[in-house]
């Protein structure tokens, strides 16, 4: 053991193995290491010439959005706060950067994807004025985005069924075409969609066509999509998101196939 670190979430040891030791000999021992340390899980990864042994703290602390906002009086325009990494450093996502036009958030029920989306909405509204950034919220469940119904950044009320979602997305396509003709990009419009797979099933071709067009052409017009789904099935959304959602935030998913679709592998 040559060192280590203790972060708000994990404890990490740095190990230097004996000369000739194969890395996979150690990685195969992750369950035995967890048993010996008395922890739920143990992760073994190689970083350069060392092998890191990581396990979660039993007293992990909650990450509060307002605490991060206090630490970050200023952030770049059109940037959302995602949380903190394992070292306690804030994680930011700048939607206006060329590498992040659209975002897919995947995870099973209870994995935190809606809470993450709400943090993104709140931080975007906090750091950007309505003149610089507008929001379009689509929430088929009618509960995830309801607290934001009175935000001045909203273009319209929160869409809570497939019919309202189709109208909102068709308006978005028309706005994209208008901006392309007039060559404007401001204010940026960020559309948050909860339960994308369910909306695609209920809304049918109208929803899929509108989302495909916006995801393909929306970045240059200042339009961005943040879509959440608990079922990232390739049969439902695979063709839609395969090439057009380069930023992927993945929580716990139901199967290895869903993990590959969610991560874009």
Mind listing the pLDDT tens digit for each residue in 48-94?
A: 889 999 998 888 778 899 999 999 999 999 999 999 887 778 999 99
Cβ atoms of residues 234 and 197 within 8 Å: no
- The CA-atom distances, in angstroms, between 128 and each of 84, 186, 221 are 21, 12, 18
pLDDT in tens, 2-22: 999 888 788 999 999 998 889
Dihedral over alpha carbons 41, 46, 50, 55 (to 10 degrees)? -10
Q: What is the rounded distance in angstroms from the CA atom of residue 182 to the CA atom of residue 239?
A: 30
| Helix axes of 196-203 and 162-182: crossing angle, nearest 10 degrees | 100
| 147 φ/ψ angles, rounded to the nearest 5 degrees | -60, -15
Q: How confident is the model at residue 260 (pLDDT cuts 50, 70, 90)?
A: confident
Q: What is the rounded distance in angstroms from the CA atom of residue 124 to the CA atom of residue 251?
A: 22
Query: Does residue 242 carry a pLDDT above 70?
Result: no
**Adjacent-strand bridge partners of 193:** 138, 227
Give per-residue burial for 57-94: e unless 16+ CB within 10 Å, then b. eeeeeebebeebbeeeeebeebbbbbebeeeeebeebe
Q: How confident is the model at residue 240 (pLDDT cuts 50, 70, 90)?
A: low
**Adjacent-strand bridge partners of 81:** 92
Q: Which residue has the higher pLDDT, 48 or 123?
A: 123
Q: What is the rounded distance in angstroms from the CA atom of residue 1 to the CA atom of residue 41?
A: 19
């Amino acid at each position: 053991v040559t060192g280590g670190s203790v972060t708000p979430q994990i404890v990490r040891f740095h190990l230097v193995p004996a000369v000739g030791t194969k890395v996979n000999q150690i990685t195969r021992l992750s369950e035995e290491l967890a048993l010996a340390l008395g922890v739920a899980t143990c992760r073994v990864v190689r970083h350069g010439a060392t092998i890191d042994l990581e396990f979660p703290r039993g007293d992990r602390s909650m990450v509060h959005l307002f605490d991060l906002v206090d630490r970050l009086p200023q952030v770049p325009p059109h940037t959302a706060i995602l949380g903190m990494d394992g070292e306690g450093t804030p994680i930011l996502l700048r939607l206006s950067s060329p590498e992040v036009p659209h975002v897919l958030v995947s995870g099973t029920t209870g994995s935190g994807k809606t809470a993450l989306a709400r943090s993104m909405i709140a931080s975007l509204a906090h750091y950007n004025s309505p003149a610089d950034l507008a929001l379009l919220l689509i929430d088929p469940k009618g509960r995830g985005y309801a607290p934001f119904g009175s935000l001045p950044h909203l273009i319209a009320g929160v869409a809570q069924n497939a019919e309202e979602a189709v109208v909102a997305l068709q308006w978005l396509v028309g706005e994209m075409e208008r901006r392309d003709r007039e060559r404007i990009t401001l204010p940026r419009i960020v559309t948050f969609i909860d339960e994308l797979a369910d909306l695609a099933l209920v809304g049918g071709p109208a929803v899929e066509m509108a989302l495909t067009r916006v995801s393909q052409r929306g970045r240059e017009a200042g339009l961005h999509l943040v879509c959440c789904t608990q079922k990232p099935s390739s049969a439902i959304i695979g063709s839609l998101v395969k090439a057009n959602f380069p930023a992927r935030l993945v929580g716990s998913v139901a199967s290895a196939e869903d993990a590959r679709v969610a991560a874009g592998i």
